Amino acid sequence: MSDTVLADVRWGIIGAGDVCEVKSGPALQRAAGSSLVAVMRRDGAKAADFARRHGVPKWYDDADALIADPDINAIYVATPPAAHADITARAAAAGKPVYVEKPMARTHAECLAMLQACSAAGVKLFVAYYRRRLPNILKVKALLRDGVIGELLHVDVRLSKPLGPAARDPANWRVDPVLAGGGLFYDMGSHQLDVLDYLLGPIVAASGMAANRAGGYATTAEDTTVGHWRHESGVLGHGTWCFAAPEEDCITLTGTKGSIRFDCFTAQQVTRADEGGAAELFSFEIPPHIQQPLVQTVVDDLRGVGTCPSTGVSGARTSWVLDQLCQRVDSP
């Protein structure tokens, strides 16, 4: 990657939709050494409205015009995944580093193309897997580092959500494989798998099956996925994801001297249990602009004063696992 160091990071957002309202847009404005210069949406009126409400100086309805703006030196891609690879390549060709929403792209092959484009242009690529810097995940990391559950043996992931009306909305891109790569497994399961990559190291072998079991979607997206995998360290894993069932959100790490249980999307709690069954509960406050801790690491990395833990390389690994686990066994 390029050794170019930015004195300050001046962002342009491409795709200033819902995720930018609270999670990320204000984070770009509040991070030290960072400012938000311009936003872009294909609907110019919506772009102008976002800029007005958030105090952003400029707005565009054309991505290339925003990329070419000399006042902008970094691009945040917040579109649906179908556009990630193309926009990243265009930003990289303009010499501007990229922070892209998760999942990194629809497929691992698209991720590799993004990495190649950024490498050829000598710019850095980061992915918005922001849970790598949330306090509950950092606590799990610390517990594992301290060896409180002994040698880690295996991990179990469970995520279920009821089939809601949004799943039946044909305009919901999150359950349109053409735009998202898959269904909600790609949107939400990717967070969990990336957390495991961060906590336990890369997954090097994986297989799974996926199907649309409930038949409630307006699209052919999978609603149920099961899989198993092996981390480079030897830790084995198993997961089930179902988006047509009662709520469940739990990751369990089992070791020779106890276990650690935590969630990704609900209570933000961590429970450590020892081999005798005694448990200790840790609860955490999540930042109001949830991406801000990770955004700060991106800014610090670009300014040469720190390192971001969520890069295009790690993001591509997670997309490879998604591809392996989401092997359709019904007729899509």
Answer whether residue 45 shows pLDDT above 60.
yes
Q: What totals of helices (H) and strands (E) does the chain contain, helices first? A: 12, 14
**So what's the pLDDT on residue 332?**
53
Are the C-beta atoms of residues 79 and 47 closer than 8 Å to each other?
Answer: no
pLDDT per residue over 58-113, tens digit each? Answer: 999 999 999 999 999 999 999 999 999 999 999 999 999 999 999 999 999 999 99
Distance (Å, rounded) from C-alpha 308 to C-alpha 130? Answer: 10
Which among 208, 160, 206 has a CA at the least distance from the CA of 184? 160
Which among 99, 105, 104, 97 has a CA at the least distance from the CA of 122? 97
Which residues make up the CATH 3.30.360.10 domain(s) of the chain?
135-286
DSSP H/E element including 325: helix 312-325
Give mean pLDDT, residues 23-47. Answer: 98
Give mean pLDDT, residues 150-168. Answer: 93
Distance (Å, rounded) from C-alpha 203 to C-alpha 256? Answer: 21
Pairing relationship of beta strands 74-77 and 98-100 according to DSSP bridges? parallel
Token output for 129? 């897997």
pTM of the model: 0.96
Which residues make up the CATH 3.40.50.720 domain(s) of the chain?
9-131
Question: What Rg value do the Cα atoms of the chain yield, rounded?
Answer: 20
Indicate the class that CATH gives domain 9-131: alpha beta
Architecture of the structural domain at 135-286: 2-Layer Sandwich (3.30)
Handedness of CA 96, 101, 107, 108 (dihedral sign): positive
Burial class (CB in 10 A: 0-12, 13-18, 19+), 7: exposed
